[in-house]
Amino acid sequence: MRTPFVVGNWKMNKTAAEAIQFVQEVAKGLPSQSIVESAVAVSPLYLQSMVTAAKDCPLEIMGENIFYEQSGAYTGEVSPQVLKEVGANYVLLGHSERRMYFHESDEIINRKVMAALEVGLKPIICCDETMGRQATGDQIHWVVSQILTDLRGLTDEQMKQIAIAYEPSWAIGTGTSATAEQAEEGCYLIRQTVADIYNDEIANEIRVLYGGSVNPDNIADLMAKRDIDGVLVGNASLQSDSFLKLVNYQK
Ligand code: PEP
């Protein structure tokens, strides 16, 4: 039984004061015994303050990125061990904006996955896909090739610590979500690839998320699909009332 997972991705939005206000508002509306796990990926600048503010509520505060070394001469980078130390349990890796603006390759993402796991941070690894690739049917090769490299060298036990998000780049921030059927197709492909490289047990255990213009109105249809265990949400995760609606999608 895979626990449903609603993950917000704030990107480079919100001030420190707005971030704390969000936690206070969400804490009031988040049931302590929810069967849905919830998290928001936020700036490392105020992550620790948010962790403190969220101490009595089940909201996970997570990182948006890390570097692939734990410490050293890497000016401006975020250390995995320090992110864990200040209270994060999860980290997003390989988001399409990291791939596009910071030229992160799958080899780099793989090193980051290893560095996260080394300190007990659980990675949510994003795979992207473009409309052009989808139109030509090339998305299968593309999604599989990303996963093969991103997961290279992970043991069975390490695989149980990760989640994978299928995020068509044409659906991110555009207001046009993939249909539930398209999203299921991408998530199924990811699970099958994990089964091919590992085994059915791991493929059945691992959580696969869909991301791309998810909102309170379309989440239930997406979550009803067999291979979609969660959602990764940008815009609709920024306001506490909308985030709470996402987490309470079953009501
Ligand atoms: C994202 O940032 O990963 C994302 C899916 O954004 P949005 O929900 O705004 O499309």
Adjacent-strand bridge partners of 165: 126, 209
Complex ipTM > 0.90: yes
Domain coverage including residue 17: 5-247
Alpha carbon distance 77, 64 (integer Å): 12
- The CATH number covering residue 115 comes to 3.20.20.70
Which of 37, 95, 129, 184 is catalytic? The answer is 95
Q: Report the range of poorest mean pLDDT among 59-63, 125-129, 221-225.
A: 125-129
Q: What is the pLDDT of residue 137?
A: 63
Mean pLDDT across 49-63: 97
Rounded to an integer, what distance in angstroms lies between the CA atom of residue 146 and that of residue 109? Answer: 10
Average pLDDT over residues 74-101: 97
Structurally, the chain folds into a number of domains equal to 1
Residue 244, token pair as written in the block: 């709470």
CA 238 to chain centre: 15
Using DSSP, state whether 231 is helix, strand or coil.
strand
Alpha carbon distance 146, 95 (integer Å): 12
Site to substitute for ligand 1 among 10, 100, 213, 237, most atoms within 8 A of C-beta: 213
Neighbours of 73 (CB within 10 A): 6
**Ligand 1 surroundings by CB, under 6 angstroms:** 9, 167, 172-173, 211-214, 232-236
167 is catalytic: yes
Measured between alpha carbons, how far apart are the two ends of the chain, in Å?
20
User: What share of the chain has pLDDT > 90, as a percent?
Assistant: 89
pLDDT number for residue 177: 94
Please provide residue 219's backbone torsions phi and psi, each rounded to the nearest 5 degrees.
-65, -40
Distance 18 CA to ligand 1 centre (A): 19
Consecutive H or E run containing 134: helix 131-135
